[in-house]
Amino acid sequence: MSEEWKDQINNQINTLEKLEEIINLTDSEKEAINTLDTRWGTTPYFASLMDKDDPECPIRKQVIPSLEEKHNKYGMHDYLVWKENRATDEVRPDSIARQYKDRIAFTVFKKCGIYCRHCFRKELVVDHDLELDFNIDEGLEWISQHEEIRDVLITGGDPLLLSDDKIEYIIASLRAIPHIEMIRIGSRLPIVLPQRITEDLKRILGGYHDVPIWLNTQCNHPKEITEKTKRAVYDLVSSGVNVGNQAVLLKGINDDVKAIRELHQKLLTARIRPYYLFYCEPAPGIDHFRTPVEKGAELIRDGLRGHTTGLAQPMYVIATNIGKIPLMPDYYIMDKTDEKYILKNHRGELTEFPNIPE
């Protein structure tokens, strides 16, 4: 039986001809598509959200290759090997990336519902420079032998593009390991292919009280949230899956107060809880998406903290080989004496608060 989500994947918009049926391309977009040796594309659903005429459209910029990708001044060569801490003494299967004692990232699939131009895994997912073997059973075996791991983050590529049977196998196997207390899934599909959240998938992921699932998606601009997204997230949440967002700070897409505030407010209207705002990682060929590091903290200071509900606040982090490092705005404590703190709010007003000795 054909399912809508499979049709979306089989009919991906990944050629110039198909793209030209949807939007009017600029000469430079055409040249990038014709000359760059890179995988690109997305679902017809997500492509339909692109602006027909505006090359600055935030969705176009995430989907369509750019000639800027040829430049690489700041990106690291072999970025993913560094980032995922693969060159260490601990022997681990390729599917296991480790930076922390109690949790790991478990990579199970290489394909995506969109080949994001800013992807930090682009060497693996988009450009295929890096070959890794994602043997699921080998990964599960490693996890079952490491009792200190209590939290498994299933990632990719996009793990929800696997068949229902494979997803059920992975989830059921993890739930059967006594030391696994929670499972996480990183997937862009609620945004780029909400049709994937089917009745069967809800049954596979939901319905358990123990070993809960937290799904973090990636949504970078308010334009990406539609009625279909809202419905898919409602379906996930009502079947017991918690849904969060990990946005990437992207120059020219969401690096302004208006876009960042609207994004985080709109996520909440779709029941998606903001989790992280990532600095755009130094993978090769994506310099043009990167802002100065301070930008994310400034946007939280000027657009989010105090300007809207605390529920809409992501934590701004830099992802590194030694873990994620928070870089939050630091204007709150203006002064401190033995008796008191002087604190500042988002409007620049000051207040005093007692300093309690230990």
Question: Which residues are known binding-site members for [4Fe-4S] cluster?
Answer: 112, 116, 119
Q: Which stretch binds ligand PLP (CB under 6 A): 98-106, 115-123, 175-183, 325-333?
A: 98-106
Rounded Cα–Cα distance for residues 57 and 218 (Å): 17
Decide: is 134 part of the binding site for ligand SF4 (CB under 6 A).
Answer: no
Tell me the CB-side half-sphere exposure of residue 216, using CA atoms within 13 A.
19
Angle between helices 164-175 and 136-145 (to 10 degrees): 10
- Which residue, 104 or 114, is less far from ligand PLP as judged by CB? 104
| Contact positions with ligand PLP (CB under 6 A) in 135-164 | 153
Tokens linked to 274? 């903001």
Decide: is 104 part of the binding site for ligand PLP (CB under 6 A).
Answer: yes
Question: Residue from 158, 224, 235, 262 that binds ligand SF4 (CB under 6 A)?
Answer: 158
Rounded Cα–Cα distance for residues 330 and 278 (Å): 17
- Which residue, 97 or 112, is less far from ligand PLP as judged by CB? 97
Q: Which stretch binds ligand SF4 (CB under 6 A): 90-98, 110-118, 252-260, 287-295?
A: 110-118
Rounded Cα–Cα distance for residues 14 and 44 (Å): 10
Decide: is 253 part of the binding site for ligand SF4 (CB under 6 A).
Answer: no
Asked if 260 and 244 touch (Cβ cutoff 8 Å), the reply is no
| Contact positions with ligand PLP (CB under 6 A) in 304-343 | 324
Cβ 321 to ligand SF4, closest distance in Å? Answer: 18
Rounded Cα–Cα distance for residues 5 and 158 (Å): 14
Peptide bond preceding 252: is omega within 30 degrees of 0, i.e. cis?
no
Decide: is 198 part of the binding site for ligand PLP (CB under 6 A).
Answer: no
Residue 146 interaction partner, one of ligand SF4, ligand PLP, none, beta carbon < 5-8 Å per kind = none
* Length of the chain in terms of residues written: 358
- With the CA atoms of 66, 70, 71 and 74 taken in that order, what torsion angle do they form, in degrees rounded to the nearest 10? 90
Instruction: Annotate each residue in 309-338 with x if it binds ligand SF4 (CB under 6 A) or - if it does not, as one string.
Output: ------------------------------
User: Could you tell me the strand order of the sheet in which 333-336 lies?
Assistant: 333-336, 340-344, 350-354
Decide: is 114 part of the binding site for ligand SF4 (CB under 6 A).
Answer: yes
Decide: is 123 part of the binding site for ligand SF4 (CB under 6 A).
Answer: no
Decide: is 184 part of the binding site for ligand SF4 (CB under 6 A).
Answer: no
- The alpha carbon of residue 268 and the mean position of all alpha carbons in its chain are separated, in whole angstroms, by 16
Residue 97 interaction partner, one of ligand SF4, ligand PLP, none, beta carbon < 5-8 Å per kind = ligand PLP
H helices present in the chain, as ranges: 4-10, 16-20, 27-35, 44-47, 58-63, 79-83, 122-125, 136-145, 164-175, 189-192, 199-205, 227-238, 257-269, 295-299
Q: Which stretch binds ligand SF4 (CB under 6 A): 151-159, 280-288, 292-300, 334-342?
A: 151-159
Decide: is 119 part of the binding site for ligand SF4 (CB under 6 A).
Answer: yes
Decide: is 121 part of the binding site for ligand SF4 (CB under 6 A).
Answer: yes
**H or E segment to which residue 213 belongs:** strand 213-217
- Which residue, 150 or 288, is less far from ligand SF4 as judged by CB? 288
Residues that bind ligand PLP (CB under 6 A): 97-100, 103-105, 153, 324
Residues that bind ligand SF4 (CB under 6 A): 112, 114-116, 119, 121, 125-126, 156-158, 188
